[in-house]
Structure 1
Amino acid sequence: MSLCKESIDYFIQKYGVDAFSSLGITGQMHGVLYVNNDGKCISPLITWQDRRAEIFENGINAIQEIYNRTGKYVPAGYGLATHFYNKCHNMVPKDIAKICTIHSFVAMTLTNTKKPVMHVSDCHSFGLYDSETDGWDFSSIALLGISEDILPKIVSNPFIIGNYKGISVCVAIGDNQASFIGSVKSFDSLLINIGTGAQVSVLADNEDKHNIEIRPLSGKYLIAVGCSLAGGLAYETLKNFFRDVYKMANLIPPENIYECMNKTGELNDNAPLFDTRFIGTRKNPEIRGSIENLGIHNFTAANFIYGVLKGIANELYSLYKQLNVDVDKIVGSGNAIRKNPLLRKIIEETFQMQLKIPINDEEAAFGAAIYGIVASKRFPDISSAVKSLVHLEN
């Protein structure tokens, strides 16, 4: 928290309080943090990458037990799946008052309040979200023996929860939704985001048309989302392999292996075919990646680099086709796309469309700022705000 406050204070000192319409906040979705009655965190952040809910004991794991009791599927890493596991194993901190996301904790602390307020985007990311009420599915949560008292209040629109040194603070929103807001110039675009994981996101007009996950964006707006667990992580796995080869030969790896990889890889129709689902999928965590079309002539570093990047793009394209929507504009965000021209070319080749990149980097932070501006009534809604504030490279 001290770093957050130092950063904000730096800009307040540099530009003055009057330069701010509000503070927008975003952070890692799905993960869970425990806080006490004083609004203090009493646990480390348990992130979306935590897999404890997949651990089998006596032939069953927490995910299956949640499904058996509620008929709802909550993936590993989602806040309520993690909390349910902790509850069943007496791992919940004794002084718990609320559970929340890390960014809702930041917003609460900045406003000097003691109870977190969570955006509907985070409510959905915890699992057991009720689309009818735009909030918690209290009936299902009760079947798990979880007290509704520990669940934060949920808001679904741009909302000012308090102030920090006279500056309005907007409710924190999930990073997937924030990235969508901060990347697309118009809501008829498909967003391709590649970080550690990867997602394709597009505005959804209803909850029945799509065969994939529907997430609340804000108010009446929904987004259809296809998620890959190993987006940038797949490329990082290949980097680690190359690093190990250097170590095996008693050589010092280059300071930036990624830069070497990006220069070495090239478009190649005869490259090995990689399935990059190295850590499974949310619905099938046991599935693993594979390599096909591997021969003596394409067993090279350059072909492996291309093959992994093409595998990432192929999985995202498959997820896009499952959305059952047709778009003619794709936008890319995340450092994996920004810093890798080869990946950009592969995505364009795979989707058969030109990939546009936002002029602003740190798209999620930019989207949170836009959301905060809408909360301060500078724009009537987020659609008009993105049309005015988001700009794409030519």
Structure 2
Amino acid sequence: MGAVHIGLDIGTTNITMVVLDLEQQSVPSSRSIPNVRYQTGESYAYAQDPVAIEQAVRSLLAQVKQPIGSLCVTGQVHGIVYHDAAGKAVSPLYTWLDRRAMEAIDGVDSQHLLYEKTGVLLPSGYGLLAHYANRRLGKVPEESTGFCGILEYVTGRLIGSVLDRSDPSCLGPFGAFDPVASHFNSNVLQEVFGSTEPRFLDSCTPFALAGYTPEGIPVAYPVGDNQAGFFGMVSDWQHSVLVSMGTSGQLSLFSTDSNCPSSMELRPFLGEGFLHVGATLTAGKAYETVQRFIASTIRSAGMDISDEAVFTLMKQTGQTEGKPGALQIDTRLNGSRKDPAVRGSIRGIDLDNLTLGNLVIGTIDGIVDELHQFSTESGERFAKMQRIIATGSSVRKNPLFKDALGRAFRLPTTIAEVDDGAGFGAALIAAVATRALGRNESRSLVGKLLGT
């Protein structure tokens, strides 16, 4: 029985394990456990339980019957968890959806105070900004000796050691990280930590091993879900654009050029170049919000209906009655990375077009249009793209999303038929880290298995 390679994706909604068997050369299987929100009693908090996350990861690994040749952790970035000297969590995971940095203290919120002090504006939810806010709020645990992201935390727990470095794809989302020079802004670190000689995570080399589990399994340094997803779902980097629709949305273009539009983020990509990324704060979350509204309306009329039945109703009504363009819906329900205060809206309502079908289509078009704006700003770089590769449960389960992508981008759209592209990419990265697979071989395998 040959060894398999494992990708662990710690997402906002689910924790997923992807099992890759290189000998079989087939689309890998995956298993998931829900990753629920943890209530802290703070109105601005969006937290999860790092202890429960670790337990879920170990439970998934225990289900693998074959020998494990390597593993790599990927998933949500930006957030932080505090740990003690032994590497055990002493706080919740404050996720990328957390808004503590927007809480005013002495008349100014932490985001704007950090900007006043350093000239660097970090988006809400970024790790360094979250720690800065916690210092001002008095929320840093006394027993804490440091903090890291959930990916570093879980990787460290698996190998029994606190990580002192991580892949640059994980470091960027903490904020104030230079993806070209691969280091943090020292002025920001000094202000955030309140120290003239702050110590924080350093960069590791791509495809490096962080250590080994007690059972001797090689564990690669964690990789951000955006980069892992691109690595796992795109074989033609130069001519394909990856559109991801999960809780949030992302549009990713590969480039060797470090210059990208100001509205997009420059992210390091495994030592091969960069990803130009346009990221939204809501995608599936916006669609889910409409679903909750419809469900509450139906239930308030005294009718019992399941959430799944509501989603089915939305899809059917959108297909049969929805008209593109009838309603113009801004789906920035939780703000944007550049403007956390902006909110969504519905425009173009007349006496006849406020229907369920139009609400569904308008919401989907609004989600896609926010991503399409990034392609417009990319100019010549996007002009080289020959197709869209779309991923996420929304596009796999609902053809209305694929139709909307076609209307907006006017390019052929391929749906990546893999349950978890980031988890698949992490499994490939683990295999490359142990030299069970070459880098170029991995791209050929992606093209063969997924046709992308």
Tell me the TM-score normalised to structure 1 length. Answer: 0.93
Identify which of 404, 407, 418 aligns with 1:346. 404
Q: Is 1:5 paired with 2:55?
A: no
Indicate conservation of the 8 Å contact 2:246/2:283, yes or no: yes
In the alignment, the residues of structure 2 paired with residue 303 and residue 275 of structure 1 have an alpha-carbon distance, to the nearest angstrom, of 14
Indicate conservation of the 8 Å contact 1:99/1:152, yes or no: no
Q: Is 1:33 paired with 2:94?
A: no
Query: Superposition pairs for residues 1-394 of structure 1, below 5 Å?
Result: 1-11=54-64, 14-17=65-68, 20=69, 22-147=70-195, 150-164=199-213, 165-188=215-238, 189-211=240-262, 212-256=264-308, 257-266=310-319, 268-324=323-379, 325=381, 326=383, 327-381=385-439, 384-390=441-447, 391-392=449-450
Indicate conservation of the 8 Å contact 1:192/1:198, yes or no: yes
Indicate conservation of the 8 Å contact 1:270/1:298, yes or no: no
Deviation at 1:271, TM superposition (A): 1.8
Deviation at 1:85, TM superposition (A): 0.4
Deviation at 1:208, TM superposition (A): 2.0
Alpha carbons of 1:129 and 1:392: their partners in 2 closer, same or farther (altered >3 Å)? same
When you count strand as a share of all residues, which structure comes out higher?
Answer: 2
In the alignment, the residues of structure 1 paired with residue 242 and residue 339 of structure 2 have an alpha-carbon distance, to the nearest angstrom, of 24
In the alignment, the residues of structure 1 paired with residue 202 and residue 220 of structure 2 have an alpha-carbon distance, to the nearest angstrom, of 14
In the alignment, the residues of structure 1 paired with residue 232 and residue 326 of structure 2 have an alpha-carbon distance, to the nearest angstrom, of 35
In the alignment, the residues of structure 2 paired with residue 150 and residue 91 of structure 1 have an alpha-carbon distance, to the nearest angstrom, of 20
In the alignment, the residues of structure 1 paired with residue 444 and residue 190 of structure 2 have an alpha-carbon distance, to the nearest angstrom, of 42
In the alignment, the residues of structure 1 paired with residue 202 and residue 145 of structure 2 have an alpha-carbon distance, to the nearest angstrom, of 13
Indicate conservation of the 8 Å contact 1:370/1:386, yes or no: no
RMSD (Å) for aligned C-alpha atoms: 1.8
Question: What SS class does the counterpart of residue 419 from structure 2 fall into?
Answer: coil
Letter aligned with residue 237 of structure 2: F
Question: What SS class does the counterpart of residue 24 from structure 1 fall into?
Answer: strand
C-alpha distance after superposition, 1:242-289 (max 9, x if no partner)? 011112211112341212211210352452111111221111112122
Deviation at 1:380, TM superposition (A): 4.0
Deviation at 1:150, TM superposition (A): 4.9
Alpha carbons of 1:152 and 1:203: their partners in 2 closer, same or farther (altered >3 Å)? same
In the alignment, the residues of structure 2 paired with residue 280 and residue 67 of structure 1 have an alpha-carbon distance, to the nearest angstrom, of 19
In the alignment, the residues of structure 1 paired with residue 206 and residue 96 of structure 2 have an alpha-carbon distance, to the nearest angstrom, of 24
Letter aligned with residue 435 of structure 2: K
Structure 1 unaligned runs (5+)? Answer: none
Alpha carbons of 1:116 and 1:28: their partners in 2 closer, same or farther (altered >3 Å)? farther
Deviation at 1:368, TM superposition (A): 0.8
C-alpha distance after superposition, 1:209-249 (max 9, x if no partner)? 43321111211421000011111111011101101111221
In the alignment, the residues of structure 2 paired with residue 67 and residue 220 of structure 1 have an alpha-carbon distance, to the nearest angstrom, of 32
In the alignment, the residues of structure 1 paired with residue 191 and residue 420 of structure 2 have an alpha-carbon distance, to the nearest angstrom, of 40
In the alignment, the residues of structure 2 paired with residue 162 and residue 306 of structure 1 have an alpha-carbon distance, to the nearest angstrom, of 48
Between Structure 1 and Structure 2, how many residues are aligned? 388
Using the aligned pairs only, state the percent identity. Answer: 30
Indicate conservation of the 8 Å contact 1:246/1:253, yes or no: yes
In the alignment, the residues of structure 1 paired with residue 397 and residue 351 of structure 2 have an alpha-carbon distance, to the nearest angstrom, of 30
Structure 2 unaligned runs (5+)? Answer: 1-53
In the alignment, the residues of structure 1 paired with residue 296 and residue 265 of structure 2 have an alpha-carbon distance, to the nearest angstrom, of 37
Letter aligned with residue 142 of structure 1: Q
Alpha carbons of 1:337 and 1:71: their partners in 2 closer, same or farther (altered >3 Å)? same
Indicate conservation of the 8 Å contact 2:190/2:198, yes or no: no
The answer for the alignment partner of 2:37 in structure 1 is none
Deviation at 1:204, TM superposition (A): 2.3
Indicate conservation of the 8 Å contact 1:128/1:137, yes or no: yes
In the alignment, the residues of structure 2 paired with residue 56 and residue 139 of structure 1 have an alpha-carbon distance, to the nearest angstrom, of 23
C-alpha distance after superposition, 1:83-106 (max 9, x if no partner)? 000012221111222211111111
Alpha carbons of 1:132 and 1:301: their partners in 2 closer, same or farther (altered >3 Å)? closer
Question: What SS class does the counterpart of residue 233 from structure 2 fall into?
Answer: coil
Letter aligned with residue 444 of structure 2: K
Letter aligned with residue 271 of structure 1: A
In the alignment, the residues of structure 2 paired with residue 286 and residue 204 of structure 1 have an alpha-carbon distance, to the nearest angstrom, of 31
In the alignment, the residues of structure 2 paired with residue 167 and residue 292 of structure 1 have an alpha-carbon distance, to the nearest angstrom, of 55
Indicate conservation of the 8 Å contact 1:160/1:171, yes or no: yes
C-alpha distance after superposition, 1:102-152 (max 9, x if no partner)? 111111111111345322111100001123531222232113344565522
In the alignment, the residues of structure 1 paired with residue 193 and residue 443 of structure 2 have an alpha-carbon distance, to the nearest angstrom, of 42
Indicate conservation of the 8 Å contact 2:180/2:268, yes or no: no
Letter aligned with residue 343 of structure 2: R
Tell me the TM-score normalised to structure 2 length. Answer: 0.82
